[in-house]
Amino acid sequence: MTIVDAHGLVKRYRTGGETLYALAGVDFTLEAGEFVSIMGPSGSGKTTLLNVIGLLDTPTEGTLLLEGRDVTHIDDRTRTILRKRTIGFVFQQFYLLPTLTAVENVEVPGLLDGDPDLNRRARDLLTRLGLGDRLDHRPDQLSGGQKQRVAIARALINEPAIVLADEPTGNLDSRTGRQILEEFERIADDEDVAIVAVTHDDLVNEYVDRTVHLVDGTIGQERLDA
Ligand SMILES: Nc1ncnc2c1ncn2[C@@H]1O[C@H](COP(=O)(O)OP(=O)(O)OP(=O)(O)O)[C@@H](O)[C@H]1O
Ligand SMILES: [Mg+2]
């Protein structure tokens, strides 16, 4: 199943008489369970593309279909609901709430839904991610890799079709980075979640199904891995 079908995405900024193309006509598709990396130099539009796919930003031109639905021109409220239901985010800086435990951090995106099973699901997710013995620890009691696994559990709590990760291994040493990438690989394979990871890290290419190269807001050569 095609989860993301983006066609001709343009993101244009006008600042002081200058026009800048953060995205200059990008086609991008993503299938369920695919693990794809986006690589490219600083300023090439990687975060912009992630934000457009993740409904955090709107394209100036082009169309975006999520799970077959045209979401290019939906209103803000629908956008927010759809984002919460469809997409999980993972960031380089983790963005955990410092006063909450691991379980409580994972519960946050599900709190308004009134699901009586939320706490059990949060515990299960953390346990699956190898943090069964860290459920009630606060972020300052966790290592970087453990914090990122809490962030991944939080991204998965609403059972998204897509996880979008911007430099998810950027703050981790290479061994811990590998553990996170193995986790993404497992989630994509076992749970059919599509994962897009923006990265500067060549390590990622050992784990992904495909790498998309962005240069100056356009897709360069795409390499298909075996
Ligand atoms: N709100 C904005 N207003 C003006 N220009 C912007 C805005 N957001 C991004 N840009 C520009 O768009 C281009 C792409 O930015 P983007 O953040 O997508 O790059 P990136 O590939 O993620 O870079 P990095 O690897 O440094 O994170 C850059 O030239 C950036 O300066
Ligand atoms: Mg970026």
Q: DSSP assignment of 147-174, as one string? A: HHHHHHHHHHTT--SEEEEESTTTTS-H
Q: What mean pLDDT is reported for the chain? A: 94
Distance (angstroms) between ligand 1 centre and the Cα of 201 equals 19
Let me know: does 58 contact 219? Beta carbons within 8 Å. Answer: no
Range 32-58+75-224: architecture per CATH:
3-Layer(aba) Sandwich (3.40)
| 165-198 pLDDT tens trace | 999 999 999 999 999 999 999 999 999 999 999 9
Say which amino acid occupies 97.
L
Distance from chain centroid for Cα 109:
15
Residue found under tokens 């803000």: 76
| 86-107 pLDDT tens trace | 999 999 999 999 999 999 999 9
Ligand 1 binding residues, C-beta < 6 A: 13, 15, 20, 22, 40, 42-48
The residue-averaged pLDDT of 61-73 equals 97
Neighbours of 101 (CB within 10 A): 21
Q: Which residues surround ligand 2, an ion (CB under 5 A)?
A: 46-47
pLDDT of 226 above 50: no
Which residue CA neighbors atom 3 of ligand 1 most closely? 13
pLDDT of 223 above 80: no
pLDDT of 133 above 80: yes
Neighbours of 202 (CB within 10 A): 10
